[in-house]
């Protein structure tokens, strides 16, 4: 594995943190002696970084059906690994994306790192980290938003309820370690995932500096104190999962191989504002400031369609069409609207 970058790796690497505790070593790194630290508290200590130019995500669009597995590269340089000259990791930036629904409008989706710990070793190229994350979903101030959603927003505001129009009031999706709902801490480890084989279009061995992998299982939405808000949040999640092929469906496993570029020096001010610039970019046009990713595809390269994530009969004939999905989504929105909104306008 090599890097396609022409610039030399900057001087200043010291190393040694990975070897400071024998339990940190592979094949089974144990990082529990390190505290889980807030992702933004120690930016002033960051010296070096590895960018993720190729964040290759994968998930089953129908849970339990491996043939339904999709592969999608999100926009480049969403994620980064930040560490000291000795190799202690102090910050990990994870992805944000935009998604649009014809009935609900446009949404921002972010994987928010709430805690991290770990080490990186530029000499061996290896690294090991643990993380805790939350999925957050909130609406963009978009002209594509439907009138019904705008009315729901207005009623929420009138009742003093938190409408997910900002990251502060976002819908929060819980996550946990694979097959262990009681464990919110999950590993980020060296190499490609061993849970499945990735197609060649989702691999970058010839051009990347190194690769790691993350496996996180999706949990339920974190409930609020309001049944009305909870019911609406479930509608939004249904719309998002319809558009994305059940990416954040409760129980699904979201995996991504992170293909790194070679180490660079950290601009601490830029690091601190990176996530905010991403959010504003998504709010503005659902694009990436560093270029677009790819469309979701199956192993053979066939493009994913939302109807694929719904049930098929024994002959493989679709029982559900795109029109049926749109109608189901619209019906759910109409039912919520009649129950909670119409008599309050």
Reported as a single tens digit per residue, the pLDDT across 91-128 is 998 877 777 777 887 787 888 899 999 999 999 999 99
Asked if the model's pLDDT at residue 292 lies above 90, the reply is: no
For residue 117, give the 3-state DSSP assignment. strand
Mean pLDDT within 314-324? 51
* Residue 314 confidence class, pLDDT cut points 50, 70, 90: very low
The three-class DSSP label of residue 67 is helix
With tokens 């504002």, the residue in question is 273
Q: Where are the domains of the chain?
A: 22-344
Residues 15-32 have a mean pLDDT of 98
Q: What are phi and psi of 61, to 5 degrees?
A: -75, -20
Is the full-model pTM beyond 0.95? no
The one-character DSSP state at 340 is I
Cα gap 273→267, rounded to integer Å: 10
Tell me how far the alpha carbon of residue 172 is from its chain's centroid: 13
Does 173 score more than 50 pLDDT? yes
Cα angle 62-224-281, degrees, rounded to a multiple of 5: 65
- Report the alpha-carbon distance of residue 343 to residue 187 in Å, rounded: 49
Decide if 147 contacts 156 (C-beta within 8 A). no
Is the peptide bond between 27 and the residue preceding it cis, with omega within 30 degrees of 0? yes
**Is pLDDT larger for residue 89 or for residue 310?**
89
Instruction: Please give the average per-residue pLDDT across 286-306, as a whole number.
Output: 79
Among the residue ranges 71-80, 91-100, 147-156, the one predicted with the least confidence is: 91-100
- Average pLDDT over all residues of the chain: 88
Task: Report whether pLDDT(134) > 80.
Answer: yes
* Beta bridge partner(s), residue 134: 112
Look at the block and give the residue holding tokens 């900057």: 10
The pair of structure tokens assigned to 272 is 């601190």
**pLDDT at residue number 178:** 95
Q: Give the mean pLDDT of 208-222.
A: 97
Selection from 232, 255, 240, 213 nearest residue 57 by Cα: 255
Q: Which residues contact residue 136 at a Cβ distance below 8 angstroms, ignoring those fewer than 6 apart?
A: 108, 109, 110, 111, 112, 167, 170, 171, 172, 173
Q: What is the maximum alpha-carbon separation in the chain?
A: 66
Residue 27 to residue 20: CA distance in whole angstroms: 16
254 token code pair: 């979201």
Residues 61-75 have a mean pLDDT of: 93
For position 12, what pLDDT does the model report?
98
- Calculate the CA dihedral of residues 238, 240, 245, 248 and round it to 10 degrees: -80
pLDDT confidence band for 236 (50 / 70 / 90):
very high
Q: Residue 318 — very low, low, confident or very high, per pLDDT cuts 50/70/90?
A: very low
Distance CA 236, CA 218 (A): 16
Instruction: State the pLDDT at residue 107.
Output: 80
- pLDDT at residue 200, rounded to an integer: 98
Please tell me which residue, 153 or 319, carries the higher pLDDT value: 153
Are 100 and 313 within 8 A, CB to CB? no
Mean pLDDT, range 35-47, rounded to an integer: 95
């Amino acid at each position: 594995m090599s890097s396609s970058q022409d610039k030399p790796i900057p001087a200043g690497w010291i190393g040694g943190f990975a070897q400071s505790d024998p339990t940190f070593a592979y094949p089974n790194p144990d990082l529990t002696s390190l505290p889980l630290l807030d992702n933004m508290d120690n930016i002033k200590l960051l010296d070096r970084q590895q960018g993720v130019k190729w964040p290759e995500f994968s998930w089953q669009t129908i849970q339990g059906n491996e043939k339904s597995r999709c592969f999608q590269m999100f926009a480049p340089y969403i994620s980064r690994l930040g560490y000291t000259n000795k190799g202690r990791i102090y910050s990990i930036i994870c992805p944000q994306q935009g998604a649009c629904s014809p009935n609900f409008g446009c949404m921002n989706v972010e994987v928010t790192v709430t805690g991290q710990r770990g080490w990186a070793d530029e000499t061996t190229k290896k690294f090991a980290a643990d993380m805790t994350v939350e999925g957050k979903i909130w609406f963009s101030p978009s002209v594509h938003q439907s009138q019904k959603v705008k009315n729901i927003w207005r009623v929420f505001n009138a009742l003093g309820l938190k409408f997910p129009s900002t990251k502060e009031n976002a819908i929060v999706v819980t996550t946990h370690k694979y097959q262990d709902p009681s464990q919110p801490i999950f590993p980020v480890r060296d190499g490609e995932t061993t849970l499945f084989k990735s197609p060649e279009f989702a691999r970058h061995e010839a051009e990347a500096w190194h690769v790691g992998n993350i496996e996180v299982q999706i949990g339920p939405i974190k409930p609020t104190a309001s049944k009305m808000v909870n019911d609406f949040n479930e509608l939004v999640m249904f719309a998002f999962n319809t558009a994305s092929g059940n990416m954040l469906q409760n129980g699904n496993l979201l995996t991504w191989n992170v293909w790194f570029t070679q180490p660079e020096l950290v601009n601490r001010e830029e690091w601190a504002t990176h996530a905010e610039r991403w959010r504003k970019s998504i709010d503005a046009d659902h694009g990436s400031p560093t270029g677009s990713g790819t469309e979701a595809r199956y192993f053979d390269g066939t493009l994913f369609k939302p109807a694929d994530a719904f049930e098929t009969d024994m002959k493989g004939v679709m029982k559900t069409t795109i029109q049926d999905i749109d109608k189901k989504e619209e019906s759910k929105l109409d039912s919520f609207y009649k129950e909670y909104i119409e008599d309050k306008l």
